[in-house]
Chains A and B, each alone.
Chain A
Amino acid sequence: MSIELPLLFNNVSYVDKSGIKQFWDECYNASGPGGKFFINISKRLSQSRFVGRNGEWSLPWEQKLIPGFEMLPYDPTFNLSFEQVTDNRALEIKARIQAGEKFAVMYSGGIDSTVILASLLKNLTQEELTKVAVCTSIHAVYEFPSFWMKYIADKIKVIDSASNWYDDVISLGYVPITGDEGDAILGTQIGLNLYHNYDYYVSLIPNYDQRAILSKLKYSISDPTVHFTNYKDIIIKHLALDQSPDGLEFGRLLYLKYKKSVDTAVNAPPIQSLHDFFWWLIFDPKYLNCSVRASIYYNVTLPIRDVIDVQVNWFNGREYQLWSMNNNNNGQKIRKTVSSYKYAARKYIYDFDGDEWYFYFKTKLESLNNLAVKPKQRNFYGNEVIGVDCNYKPLVIQDPEVRDWFKERLVNYQIDWDHD
């Protein structure tokens, strides 16, 4: 057996490439309800890459958290603002630059990476900024053109991410800085897509009185006095594969699995509002994926561990985690609608740059795919890495032993959370 347990990363991505979908279909057909549920997660959410950090999250295999990404205990006395935490983070980078290091911000033009760049521009001297590059794609120019023109074009060294991934950035002498945990600190897209379709989901509720109650709660998504369980029926409809009985049953099971993570969390902040609930999903079981996925999938030549150890996960610091746990339901993450999503980060950028359009109207976009403009030559496609073993060895789908190993565990996976 060459797969050494526990796994450090797992990835079920139901994509129609290189026989990946066929393999998961094969596993699906051989599985009982547990294995089917697990694969259905990837059909609903594009990937299933969850690993619990605090609350219970059972998996078909033994898994452990990669060191450095543990959740800190909740400390309600923490009182730094987002601005203070962000400036402190920039000062850490400043000190490392003074010690001789160079950094490359993985920049998309979105809110998270713009916060990083804005804080460096704010806290570093011109001389220190010569040690900062941005690794980016043309998408970033279009996503925030005024910022690009004011602060990046002809001012900061630009590395094209279409042909340079994390390993290239490192080989050029830069430490990559990723903001990929920004969503984990401030909320999650899956929540936004529910808020965006709130009225629609309410309309699917058959009972008139219940519809009336839920309609009144539309703008209470970040109200701690309205517990997320009040929204259970529309959460299930949102998480469902589709609105058929089988699709809804999957939505119910996924809701209960998420809820079990919430209910079993220890030393965690209160999870009260609907946004708390969705925040927790990415702050706990999805956090690791956000932290290391780029090291695994946008790195060709270097050992996975080397990239994970070298890169700076900007929002993974102690202060950001504590800030995130202490700023639920106060308007810093979201107010009443998706327009105000990541309010504290928008405000930080606005205070630096003064761009009202971006502050009010920046829309959440997917950015990781921007790195895949020109996939590099290598002997496997990204989603063919379906796991990483305890020695950081990538487990690829082409390996028959890996296939058999995953299939066997999915077939034997049991649903252990089906109770409310």
Chain B
Amino acid sequence: MNNISRYYRTPNSETRKNGIYCPVFDRWLLIDHNDFWVTLDTAKVLSSKISSTVYILPDVMHLDNSNCLNWGLFNKTSQRRENSSDLVRGQIPLLRKFNGDFMQFVDPGYPEDFKTPEGIEILHRLKNFAEVTHRYMYAAKLTQAIQSAYDMKSFGQELVDPGILNGLESFHGPTEYNQSFIKTIKNFFYHANTVEEAESKIRDFVYLDNNHPAYRMRLKLFYEILEGKFDEY
């Protein structure tokens, strides 16, 4: 995500980290250095596979994506959600701020029930799914932000009461997706069982189902962002 990081900070500046914490195995699944809003979207997409909470982290320099599966939370007694005694009240991930005053990290290695080869493999498969999803969330959001001039329908759905439009056809313009680009990408990952399945659906969506110049242009940008050719835009 180095190229994307350049959108968030100057070369010498630091941003506060955030991350996805999974209570079921008490470890950090993903650490992000840029934007907790994107991380929250990633956690929502992952909620079809695991419940989690997104934390805005204090200055924990040692925690990154290469080691976060070995780190958990020390004291969760105050990390309740709403009035629940559970660590997770529901499947929809929420955002919390990490309070270093009453919690600290410990380093016990992999979760005890995942120390078999199969357990480690599924943990890393989940982590890979999370990291790829996260990368796609950034790319989808940037793509939509850069190329959404004709998204009359999704813009209207988000901001305008459909009742005042009197059925104007321009609301359903010819270059519009059935739903927003971001939502489409999220859906594919939410329902996919594997990274390959999600990526395959994205390719099919563009090249088979929506072979319109505007879609192709958008997908071209999308894949260039994913491939790190971000600065050209």
Chain A positions within 8 Å of B, measured between CB atoms, are: 45-46, 109, 139, 142-143, 145-146, 149, 189-190, 193, 196-197, 199-200, 203, 219, 335-340, 356-358, 360-366
Contact = CB atoms under 8 A, between A and B. Distances in A.
Contacts of B48: 145-146, 357
B114 interface: yes
B171 interface: no
A356 B122 contact: yes
A365 B112 contact: no
Interface in B11-49: 22-26, 47-49
18 contacts: A142-B47, A145-B190, A189-B86, A196-B23, A197-B75, A199-B106, A336-B112, A336-B113, A337-B112, A338-B26, A339-B25, A339-B112, A357-B50, A360-B122, A361-B24, A363-B24, A364-B88, A366-B84
B114 A197 contact: no
A196 B191 contact: no
A360 B119 CA distance: 8
B91 interface: yes
Interface in B46-86: 47-51, 74-77, 84-86
Contacts of B106: 199
Of the candidates A109, A200, A356, A364, the one having the most CB atoms from chain B within 10 angstroms of its own CB is A200
A288 B47 CA distance: 33
Nearest to A242: B77
A362 to B, nearest CB: 7
Given A145-B190, A364-B86, A366-B84, A357 B49 contact: yes
* 7 tightest Cβ-Cβ pairs between the two chains A and B: A357-B49, A363-B51, A200-B75, A363-B24, A361-B50, A339-B113, A336-B112
A28 B50 CA distance: 42
A113 to B, nearest CB: 14
B90 interface: yes
Contacts of A364: 24, 86, 88
A68 to B, nearest CB: 28
A346 to B, nearest CB: 11
Given A189-B85, A197-B75, A335-B113, A139 B91 contact: yes
A146 B90 contact: no
A219 B114 CA distance: 13
B132 interface: no
Interface of B: 22-26, 47-51, 74-77, 84-92, 106, 111-114, 119, 122, 126, 190-191, 193
A336 B25 CA distance: 11
Contacts of B26: 196, 337-338
Given A146-B48, A197-B75, 15 more contacts: A139-B90, A142-B47, A142-B90, A142-B91, A336-B112, A337-B111, A358-B49, A360-B119, A360-B122, A360-B126, A361-B50, A363-B24, A365-B51, A365-B91, A366-B84
A293 to B, nearest CB: 16
Contacts of B126: 357, 360-361
A337 B22 CA distance: 13
Contacts of A335: 112-113
Contacts of A336: 112-113
A358 B49 CA distance: 6
A337 B113 CA distance: 6
A109 B89 CA distance: 14
A340 B50 CA distance: 14
Of the candidates B23, B75, B91, the one having the most CB atoms from chain A within 10 angstroms of its own CB is B91
A365 B92 CA distance: 11
A362 B49 CA distance: 8
Nearest to A45: B85
A237 to B, nearest CB: 10
B142 to A, nearest CB: 27
Contacts of B86: 189, 193, 364-366
B68 to A, nearest CB: 16
Contacts of B24: 338-339, 361-364
Contacts of A360: 114, 119, 122, 126
Of the candidates B26, B76, B119, B122, the one having the most CB atoms from chain A within 10 angstroms of its own CB is B26
Given A339-B113, A365-B51, A149 B89 contact: no
A196 B87 contact: yes
A226 to B, nearest CB: 15
